[in-house]
């Protein structure tokens, strides 16, 4: 009977040490009774308010800054600021300190990742930590079997640990794709993506469309056109209904005049998909309409430019003018693309025979008043059109 009780006690210790989603605090950092560490834990666990817990941690940190228990102190700071005080900045401050310590844990990393995701910020440190997480997950969810635990009990424990590892890995993957778009340097993005493929090969396969789209955007930002198109095509191959990828590729093929036919095909498909968009839950009508108009407008812009290019042979500028006019209306709020649409529209009005000076002046005047890369060209063309109109 005594042996059975000891075996169950050993199993309980294993289970307590491995709750799902890294709820264990400070694994491997034990403390002895009647020590400052013991006193700290009693104060933290006995406190009724999170502010009292923070005060206890502050007191310990000031008196024992060199303690080997400080990684655990940082972990508690991070949890309390994140989960009880909703202070993401403080959670990040102490989470980063814990991350730089000798004993960062998955509990710390998950809470720090949550703080970063909620804050709208990112850092190289958190992304590098996410890339190293698989080894940490394996370490924390692969303990040795206690001799007193039965095979059946151990199998159950191993399954729970496997579930924990799966949950932690899933969250790391989620956090990575949330934080990566906040990295302004495209070359760093590409390095992080390469690291992700190595660290999470299964997740890279399962999330091929999202991964390829991230590469696509990074290479576009880096002005590596060939690599951007390669990953844009991979994105569409994995997810044919990715409106953003379709629109960006169509724009690139069309405006860059590298593949007019493919530009037309992708833009028309993006237009159809955008027209059929449904508002997601939690998104306001205004937000949804703005995003839908943006996708519709970009598709029309590409279609209008392609139609204008083809008009050099067909002499039919009507379709180009219609698409560009709609694009200019839909892209209100995006001065760069709206300015481009208006510039092309003004050019089309002036090119048609007989020239529509009034339409050209109206479009180019609007383009001239927008802060965009097209402002200077629009003003120059506007001056020429006005002179032609008075001749």
Distance of CA 199 to the CA centre of its chain: 18
Mean pLDDT, all residues of the chain: 90
Q: Which of 79-93, 139-153, 257-271 has the lowest mean pLDDT?
A: 139-153
pLDDT at 360: 96
Computed on alpha carbons and rounded to an integer, the radius of gyration of the chain in Å comes to 29
* Phi and psi torsions of 324, nearest 5°: -70, -35
Half-sphere exposure of 281 toward its Cβ, with a 13 Å CA cutoff?
0
Q: Tokens 């960062």: give the residue.
A: 104
Q: Tokens 């169950």: give the residue.
A: 8
Closest CA to 244 of 221, 223, 224, 214: 214
Q: Check residue 182 and report its DSSP letter.
A: G
Instruction: Let me know: does 112 contact 95? Beta carbons within 8 Å.
Output: yes
* Range 321-328, long-range pairs (CB < 8 A, 24+ positions): 321/345, 321/348, 321/349, 321/352, 321/359, 324/300, 324/348, 326/296, 326/297, 326/300, 327/297, 327/298, 327/300, 327/301, 328/297, 328/363, 328/366
- From residue 174, alpha-carbon distances to 79, 120, 200 in Å are 19, 14, 12
Supply the angle between the helices 88-99 and 124-140 in degrees, to the nearest 10.
60
Confidence of residue 9 (pLDDT cuts 50, 70, 90): very low
Closest CA to 106 of 71, 57, 66: 71
CATH code of domain 260-389: 1.25.40
| C-beta atoms surrounding 85 within 10 Å | 14
pLDDT at 22: 39
pLDDT at 24: 66
Domain ranges of the chain: 2-182, 183-239, 260-389
Instruction: Let me know: does 390 contact 373? Beta carbons within 8 Å.
Output: no
The percentage of residues in the chain with a pLDDT greater than 90, rounded to a whole number, is 77
> What pLDDT, in 10s, does the model give residues 80-135?
999 999 999 999 999 999 999 988 899 999 999 999 999 999 999 999 999 999 99
> What pLDDT, in 10s, does the model give residues 185-212?
999 999 999 999 999 999 999 999 999 9
């Amino acid at each position: 009977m005594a042996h059975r009780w000891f075996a169950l006690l050993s199993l309980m210790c294993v289970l307590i040490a491995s709750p799902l989603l890294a709820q264990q605090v400070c694994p491997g950092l034990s403390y002895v009774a009647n020590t400052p560490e013991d006193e700290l834990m009693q104060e933290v666990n006995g406190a009724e308010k999170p502010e009292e817990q923070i005060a206890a941690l502050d007191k310990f940190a000031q008196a024992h800054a060199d303690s080997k228990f400080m990684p655990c102190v940082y972990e508690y700071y991070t949890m309390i600021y994140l989960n009880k005080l909703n202070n993401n900045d403080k959670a990040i401050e102490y989470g980063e300190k814990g991350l730089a310590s000798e004993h960062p844990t998955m509990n710390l990393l998950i809470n720090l990742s949550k703080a970063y995701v909620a804050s709208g910020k990112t850092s190289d440190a958190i992304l590098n930590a996410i890339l190293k997480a698989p080894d940490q997950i394996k370490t924390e969810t692969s303990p040795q079997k206690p001799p007193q635990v039965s095979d059946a009990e151990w199998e159950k424990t191993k399954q729970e640990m496997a579930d924990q590892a799966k949950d932690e890995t899933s969250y790391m993957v989620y956090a990575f794709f949330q934080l990566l778009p906040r990295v302004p340097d495209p070359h760093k993005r590409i390095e992080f993506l390469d690291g992700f493929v190595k660290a999470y090969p299964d997740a890279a396969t399962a999330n091929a469309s999202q991964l390829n789209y991230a590469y696509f955007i990074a290479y576009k930002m880096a002005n590596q056109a060939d690599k951007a198109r390669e990953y844009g095509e991979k994105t569409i191959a994995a997810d044919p209904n990715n409106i953003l990828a379709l629109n960006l590729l169509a724009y690139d093929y069309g405006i860059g005049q590298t593949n007019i036919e493919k530009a037309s095909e992708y833009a028309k498909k993006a237009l159809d998909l955008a027209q059929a968009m449904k508002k997601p839950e939690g998104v306001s009508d205004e937000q949804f309409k703005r995003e839908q108009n943006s996708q519709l407008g970009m598709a029309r812009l590409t279609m209008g430019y392609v139609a204008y290019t083809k008009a050099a042979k067909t002499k039919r500028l009507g379709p180009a003018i219609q698409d560009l006019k709609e694009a200019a209306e839909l892209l209100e709020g995006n001065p760069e693309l709206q300015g481009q649409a208006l510039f092309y529209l003004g050019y089309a009005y002036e090119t048609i025979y007989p020239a529509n000076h009034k339409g050209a002046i109206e479009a180019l005047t609007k383009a001239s008043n927008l802060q965009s890369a097209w402002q200077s060209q629009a003003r120059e063309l506007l001056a020429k059109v006005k002179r032609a109109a008075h001749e």
